Amino acid sequence: MSSDTSEVPDLTVHSQPTVSPEACPALVLNADFRPLSYYPLSLWSWQDTIKAVFLDRVNIVSHYERTVRSPSFEMQLPSVVSLKTYIKSSRHPAFTRFNVFLRDRFVCQYCGAHEELTFDHVIPRSKGGTTTWENVVAACSACNLRKGDRLPADVHMFPARDPFQPTVNDLHHNGRHFPPNYLHESWMDYLYWDSVLEP
């Protein structure tokens, strides 16, 4: 697939002047029509989306009402695109603070609070604990301070769920509980948030 961008026309947005073109990102689906990621949601800017269209890397699935134009070309801005080549995701996500929070659904594993989250070593490092998926949990600042450098049994503080290494699917599943603030109507067929199913 060519990376030459010389054929991409110089396009300008033609639409209501009060709405920024940056308000028209495209939802990016893998070739199996699932989002590349749920949280954060896989989105491309309208410029990157148009470039991918002209480089024949994506199929346009749905459009916005607004258009972009060049002197010799006009097209509607894509709102949903799917990759032509399937991208296989890594089974195990990166071990990051954010992904620990997402695995634990942004909830303190000791008291259930959602505010002032940090992370806690279940077995403190001073007592041989490691900084790994299996020994780190989301914890609020108050619980982290209360537990301190002590073992769970010493302070009767045990995580609600034993920490574990999640798969990408685990994080995608949890991410569906935290939809972004903005969802374009054309994206809804491809997102599966915790909506109530009709009987």
**Domain CATH number, residue 121:** 1.10.30
3-class secondary structure for 8-42?
CCCCEEECCCCCCHHHCCEEEECCCCCECCECCEC
* Contact status, residue 77 vs residue 46, Cβ threshold 8 Å: yes
Domain containing 29: what range?
A: 12-88
Q: What is the mean pLDDT of each run of 10 residues along the chain (199 residues)?
A: 50 49 86 83 91 96 88 89 90 85 94 93 96 96 96 97 92 78 79 56
Residue 64 CB: number of other CB atoms within 10 A?
Answer: 21
Q: What is the pLDDT of residue 153?
A: 96
Residues 73 and 97 in one domain: no
Overall domain count for the chain = 2
Residues 35 and 98 in one domain: no
Residues 168 and 109 in one domain: yes
* Contact status, residue 139 vs residue 104, Cβ threshold 8 Å: no
142 falls within a domain:
yes
